[in-house]
Structures are given as C-alpha cells and as structure tokens.
Amino acid sequence: MSKNVVLWMGAGQIGMAIARRIGYGKKIIVGDKNPANAEAIAKVMTDAGFDCEWMEADLSNRESIKTFIAKGQEFGPIEFLINGAGVSPSQAPIETILAVDLYGTAVLLEEVGKVIMEGGSGVTISSQSGKRMPQLTAEEDRLLATTPTEELLALPMLQPGAIRDTLHAYQMAKRCNEKRVMAEAVKWGERGARVNSISPGIIVTPLAIDEFNGPRGDFYKNMFAKCPAGRPGTADEVGALAELIMGPQGAFITGSDFLIDGGATASYYYGPLQPEE
C-alpha cells in the first residue's frame, strides 16, 4: 500500500524530534553517512510505532542524494523533507564543512524540489551562527542564493584565502542555507509546496556536546548562560517549531528562516554577549 513519504537526512536528535511530530501514518526514510547511526535511530522510531527504514546516504554527494530520494519514491509520493545533517566547526575541516553543510544542503533542496508533492513541505536545519557573521553584500547574497549548485564551491568568497577558519566556513554555509531556501521556495511554490529553514541556538545534542568539549566550549557555555533564556534548548523545542511551520497551520509560510536560540543572538548584539570592541 502506498504511503506518503518523509525523507529525513541526518540521523540526529533534532531530526528525530521533527519526524516524531510529522511522521505518523507516513513512510519514513532516514539517511545518514554513518550506517550505524541510521540503523540505531530507525530502530528507536520503529520501536515507538513509526514505519521507518534506514539507508546510508552522503549529503555531500549528489548521486547518493538522488539514490536516497529514489528509495523514498518506491513507497509513495514525497510529502516532507527534514534535513538535519551537517558537521560542526569542531568536527571537520573547512573543505568538509563547505561540501556538506553548504553544497550538500543546496543539492538536497534542489533535488527534492523536483519531486515534492503538492501540499508538501520541507525544513532544513541551519544555525544561529550565520546571524553573527557580518552582513554580506546584496550581490554576495544573490550569488549564494542562485549560483548553480555545481558552481557554488567555486565562488571567490568560498576559496581558502577568503575563509578564515572552520567557524567562518560554518557561518558561510549557514548563511547560504538561508539564501538557498529563499530561492528554492520560489521553485517549490511552482509545485504547490513550501520550504523553510530553522536556525537553532545551543541545543543539547551529541553535536553540541562535541562543541562543549571542543576548543570553543567555554564560548558556547558562556553563550547559553548569558542569553535571556539562561539555558540551552532541547531538540523537542525545535521539533515543536518545525511541526508548526511544516503543517497546515504554516500554510502561508515559505522561504523563511526561524531563529530559535533563547535570545542568544539578541544578547550578542544588544546584551552581555556583545563582543568587545
């Protein structure tokens, strides 16, 4: 029996929180570069009563993405996309961050946008980090939004001399995510579908714990201590937001980014997290 399909890239806690809210009655395909991660999280979902299968999928590889989408299409029309895949500044070198978080996300949005069903919706997980980078020019934003995906990594602003470190690469990737979502929303709209991004702050996940224990750990701990909420967030809080914007209540929302960071970005610009001059 055919079912509408949820494509879920990145077998992490935020993706699972979203899938548990929108995936009931659907066929869920979870893909991850690490097969053990995908298998383990699919078992958790299956044991909770969801119809979930896993497969190995590499966000940095277009053919792997197309295979992932084709797997979902075996079961029915693609209704939802959840992209929670990515690597953090403490997990990977500059080249990998750009290949996965920037290029890979752009390819996934493009390829799913070709097949998403009418009434479908997608969400990609970006980051508050992109909000702390100085504004780009209008032309630079346009290039990030509209450059053909296979030419993205050749942009001058993404070359080794222009990228300072892994954090800068990550921030550029997340800025690109937001701009690609805006451009793809126009194309998805031609199919009667919607796509948005969510920019979480410090959310307690294994990736965040890597950051807490990494070279910028004190920075991140200080961030959530001095944000208005006074704490890190949870994956379930991100899931609740995603449920709103992906479901019928969010039918007028597309091409947008939603910051969910406990006020850390506000504090960075106008509160105790302001950088010293």
Residue 181 · residue 146 · CB < 8 Å: no
Contact 55, 63 (CB under 8 A): no
Give the C-alpha distances (Å, rounded to integers) separating 175 from 60, 73, 105, 204, 217. Answer: 17, 30, 12, 22, 22
> Distance (Å, rounded) from C-alpha 275 to C-alpha 72?
46
First to last CA, the chain: 62
Positions annotated as catalytic residues are 170, 174
- In 51-207, which ranges are E strands? 51-56, 78-83, 121-125, 194-200
User: Where would I find the H helices in 122-272?
Assistant: 138-146, 166-189, 206-212, 217-225, 235-246, 264-270
* Contacts of residue 171, Cβ cutoff 8 Å, sequence gap at least 6: 129, 130, 132, 133
Rg of the chain's alpha carbons, rounded to an integer?
Answer: 18
